[in-house]
Structure 1
Amino acid sequence: MKFLLAPDKFRGSLTAYEVCQAMSEGIREVIPDAAIVVLPMADGGEGTAEILTLNAGGKMHTAIVSDPLGRNIEAEYGLSSDGKTAFIEMATASGLRLLQSEERNPLKTTTFGTGQLIEEAYQKGARHIILGIGGSATTDGGIGMAAALGWQFLDSDENTLSPNGENMIKIDQILPPNESLSLTVEVACDVTAPLFGQEGAAYIYGPQKGADAMMVTQLEEGLQHLALVVKRDFGVDIAQVPGTGAAGGLGFGALFFLKAILKEGVKIVMEQTHFEEQLIDTDFVFTGEGKIDEQTLQGKLIAGIAGAAQKQNIPVVALCGALMVSPSDLNQLGITYATSILPRPMTLHEAIPVAYEGVKNTTHYLVNLLNQVKITHRNDQFT
């Protein structure tokens, strides 16, 4: 039998790679010579850079960059084994998780550190960037990132502006760098918000980053002004393109300053891992995540995995800590069978330490059952 193991992380307890390890142990206990393909997955958010780096045979690197408020921090990014592709998550440099709750203020925060990570990777030889833009602390339209890459933002007196949210409204000139980076950039972006408007970056996401009503209005005006200057001086009108409002307008900044392509995070992950190619001759796909619930139904990772397997008539088994959807929901997703790894009802605090054993043992039980069915079916053919 050939098994393709493609789980997401079990948040708070196991990384996707650890889930794969536990599944592998469970399979080997039943079928020691089973063909197992280990393919830890992610949805384009937290942990994606590490998973794609691992898949590309590369390693993680660190760089000293600015956090959202300009303080020096150490941030990670990945490089493929040939050094040509970099995997970057903006949250490691410009993420909300880097700030205390009282520090959250999108008028003051900047994506400068994200630009520094891109520059660092470029100097190391990367010419292809996979950029995840979830979890930002910023609403600066991407001008911070651009400033780190050599773009200048001047006010009406030709003074250089600090590239943060409150200064977008003051931009009178945008000066490109002397040398543009020779890069191709793919942005993992599942948000479809435009740059500005009632469904845009300031109104929808500003409050999550610490903005009160007055700040939201100021940020909205700044984003509109940034888009106006870009349209006026460069003839580029992209503010209503879906996804430009992602990460406080970094989607817009990536499109304009980096000529990037915005793509669904799951599509990028599945392309980078050559997921459909891995399905060849596969008998079963094992996937899963910490909780299968309504968010799973609305999400794209497990649906993408199941959909690709379903096209090739490959059964998909999903393991989880908490199973909170109906059989019809699972069928709609394309999941053949799903079950919890927990041996009994328990609290999250109790479940976390036993998650690894739970994945291993549940996989063992299921594979043993599958193996017995296969043996019985084979014997029936000869009677």
Structure 2
Amino acid sequence: MTRVLFAPDGFKGSISAADAATALAAGWRSVRGGDDIVELPMADGGEGTLRSFLSAVPGARRMPLTVTGPHDREVAASWVLLPPAADAPDGTGVVELASTSGIELLGGARRPFDAGTGGFGQAIAAALDHGVSRLVLAIGSSASTDAGFGALTALGARITDAEGRDIVAGLRGLRTAVRLDRSGLRALPPGGAVVLTDVRSPLTGAAGAARVFGPQKGLGPADIADADAALARAASLLGIDATLPGAGAAGGTGAALRAWGAELVPGAERVADLLGLADAVAAADVVVTGEGAFDASSAAGKAPARVGALARAKGRSAGLVAGRITPDADTSGFAAAVALVDLAGSAGAALGDPGRWLTAAGAELARRWG
């Protein structure tokens, strides 16, 4: 009997990693019903990270709470409590920016000047209130360019303008900030905090948060220079090097968390370690991974590249499924690769019913393995 491990990332804006794994597994079973199937949905620190931990870690608990979202309205959110471990006797709190301050919460709207990270900070504070031993902070899918000042404020910092008034949320407030008072800022838990991100951008400059990611969040060409200057001032207030890789993640939230004392780590790699991916790959005969778009950048820390590399290192055969596979993508490390757009006939059809086409992809891979 063949053991098949399904370890996809989420298909951004389409289907979660957990649902993608289930659909792929269902398709495989329709062709090879006697195989042993294991589902281990992955993440790289963006949307779906909480669900990955809930699905993969026995005893993980969802901890509901209400936070202020990037639209300034209440959001029913949660963080995840991982069970006690030798190095975290009071458990680990996993907090996700995507579900508290993420761009998906805005729907099709954008708030380039007013969206902030306050809700994310509120969720971190809730985990600290619970008494966790350490924090795992996933910061993908940000809606804002506020240098993480909203999160720091929720954690007890006071950030004021030239008149001594508390700044407003978002980039609008960041542009007026002149003083950061950390005297009330909460301490890290005893085991510290790691920040999961697949973005290695600096805070400022040509590859920085404003120029690279600002347009995705609604900033126009005329806004970029001003936003970059505000982020440079934020670096000074935070006392951090603006060129630090990862400081520009999540609109500069990486910089704020690093200044707080957290460690910035590659998201896909650390999630894989925390979920026990290496052991799961070693126990499998075939490994199937995937993501929404597999392109030239996928090799730089994305979850499918990590899964594929582990499979090759352990001598396991690997398959790839993606919404689309671009011509510049390197799929040479996979025994088979399937694009949903090819099965569905168009990107619109694939996006319209991702579960159906992921099931079809799972069946196609099973036939290729014969």
TM value normalised by structure 1: 0.81
Structure 2 equivalent of residue 90 of structure 1: 97
AA at the equivalent of 1:284: V
Task: Give ranges in structure 2 of 5+ residues lacking alignment.
Answer: 85-89
Aligned residues of 2:132 and 2:189 also touching (Cα < 8 A)? no
Q: Give the distance between the partners of 1:111 and 1:46, measured in 2 at CA.
A: 15
Q: Give the distance between the partners of 1:102 and 1:321, measured in 2 at CA.
A: 24
Which one of 175, 183, 187 corresponds to residue 180 of structure 1? 187
Moved more, 213-222 or 109-118: 213-222
Structure 2 equivalent of residue 205 of structure 1: 213
Please tell me whether residue 189 in structure 1 is matched to residue 197 in structure 2: yes
Aligned residues of 2:25 and 2:37 also touching (Cα < 8 A)? yes
Q: Give the distance between the partners of 2:37 and 2:107, measured in 1 at CA.
A: 43
Aligned residues of 1:131 and 1:186 also touching (Cα < 8 A)? yes
Which one of 157, 177, 181 corresponds to residue 170 of structure 1? 177
Which one of 236, 253, 258 corresponds to residue 256 of structure 2? 253
Aligned residues of 1:44 and 1:268 also touching (Cα < 8 A)? no
Aligned residues of 2:148 and 2:253 also touching (Cα < 8 A)? yes
**CA deviation map 1:155-203 (0-9, x unaligned):** 4444333353233343234232165242522212222222222332223
How far residue 151 of structure 1 moved from its aligned partner, in angstroms, is: 0.8
Q: Give the distance between the partners of 1:151 and 1:329, measured in 2 at CA.
A: 45
Please tell me whether residue 336 in structure 1 is matched to residue 332 in structure 2: no
Q: Give the distance between the partners of 2:116 and 2:137, measured in 1 at CA.
A: 16
Q: Give the distance between the partners of 1:11 and 1:90, measured in 2 at CA.
A: 15
- The residue correspondences of 1:216-235 to structure 2 (distance < 5 A) are 216-231=224-239
Q: Give the distance between the partners of 1:344 and 1:222, measured in 2 at CA.
A: 46
- The residue correspondences of 1:273-352 to structure 2 (distance < 5 A) are 273-290=275-292, 292-294=294-296, 296=298, 300-320=302-322, 322=324, 325=327, 329-331=330-332, 334-339=333-338, 346-348=345-347, 350-351=349-350, 352=353
Relative distance call for 1:13 and 1:240 in structure 2 (3 A) is closer
Structure 2 equivalent of residue 265 of structure 1: 267
What secondary structure is seen at the aligned counterpart in 2 of 1:40? coil
Aligned residues of 2:45 and 2:271 also touching (Cα < 8 A)? yes
How far residue 22 of structure 1 moved from its aligned partner, in angstroms, is: 4.3
Q: Give the distance between the partners of 2:165 and 2:310, measured in 1 at CA.
A: 53
Tell me which structure has the larger Cα radius of gyration.
Answer: 1
How far residue 8 of structure 1 moved from its aligned partner, in angstroms, is: 2.7
AA at the equivalent of 2:268: V
AA at the equivalent of 2:170: N
AA at the equivalent of 1:56: V
How far residue 270 of structure 1 moved from its aligned partner, in angstroms, is: 0.9
Structure 2 equivalent of residue 380 of structure 1: none
Q: Give the distance between the partners of 2:127 and 2:94, measured in 1 at CA.
A: 9
Q: Give the distance between the partners of 1:342 and 1:197, measured in 2 at CA.
A: 36
Identical aligned pairs, as a percentage?
Answer: 29
* Paired residues, number: 358
How far residue 104 of structure 1 moved from its aligned partner, in angstroms, is: 1.6
Please tell me whether residue 153 in structure 1 is matched to residue 159 in structure 2: yes
Q: Give the distance between the partners of 2:32 and 2:18, measured in 1 at CA.
A: 20
Structure 2 equivalent of residue 8 of structure 1: 9
Aligned residues of 1:77 and 1:87 also touching (Cα < 8 A)? yes
Relative distance call for 1:358 and 1:321 in structure 2 (3 A) is farther
Q: Give the distance between the partners of 1:173 and 1:179, measured in 2 at CA.
A: 14
**CA deviation map 1:188-246 (0-9, x unaligned):** 22222222223322233223322335543333332222222333xxxxx3222111111
Structure 2 equivalent of residue 49 of structure 1: 50
How far residue 26 of structure 1 moved from its aligned partner, in angstroms, is: 5.4
AA at the equivalent of 1:16: A
How far residue 46 of structure 1 moved from its aligned partner, in angstroms, is: 1.6
**CA deviation map 1:307-365 (0-9, x unaligned):** 11111221112244555559x9322xx11222457896634555526325414532542
What secondary structure is seen at the aligned counterpart in 2 of 1:186? strand
Structure 2 equivalent of residue 36 of structure 1: 37
How far residue 254 of structure 1 moved from its aligned partner, in angstroms, is: 0.7
Structure 1 equivalent of residue 87 of structure 2: none
Aligned residues of 2:341 and 2:347 also touching (Cα < 8 A)? no
Please tell me whether residue 115 in structure 1 is matched to residue 116 in structure 2: no
Q: Give the distance between the partners of 2:144 and 2:14, measured in 1 at CA.
A: 29
Alignment RMSD (CA, Å)? 3.1
